[in-house]
Amino acid sequence: MRNLSNCFFLFFLIISLPVTSQFTKPIILTELSNTVNETSGLIFYKSELWTHNDSGNKASLYSIDTISGDVIRSVNIKNAKNRDWEDLCKDENYAYIGDFGNNSGMRDDLKIYKISLSELSDTNKKSVESEIINFTYN
């Protein structure tokens, strides 16, 4: 009988953990600017937080103030189109924007835009060129 009550206790504990965690309220540090109302990817580079909007928006990256949430500046990607931008990442030299949103599985024009981080971090630049990496799925 003792083993059975231990099993019930353990079962109750396991079941109650996810339920109690669902009621934890997030802490809002700041509201984002309406300019990035559909933010879809983030990178942090040289004390700047960069993001972009999801599908159908401008082909731009936005530097966001980490305290106020305001857009500090935007950089247009001249040779890009935001068909369905899904993510943003970086390595030591480049930022990469993934234009590969494909919910219906019908796209055959998937792209990754490769942008020089040194150009992106140049505060005098309002637009940059990207290298385009085209790919498709079998």
Residue 10 or 26, more confident: 26
Q: What's the pLDDT at 89?
A: 96
Task: Report the half-sphere exposure of 59 (CA within 13 A, side-chain side).
Answer: 19
pLDDT tens, residue by residue, 51-92:
999 988 999 999 999 888 999 999 999 999 999 999 999 999
> How much is the pLDDT for 28?
82
pTM, 2 dp: 0.78
d(CA 61, CA 71): 10
Query: Is the confidence at residue 21, as pLDDT, over 90?
Result: no
What ranges do the domains of the chain cover?
A: 34-135
Rounded distance between C-alpha atoms, residue 30 and residue 42, angstroms: 16
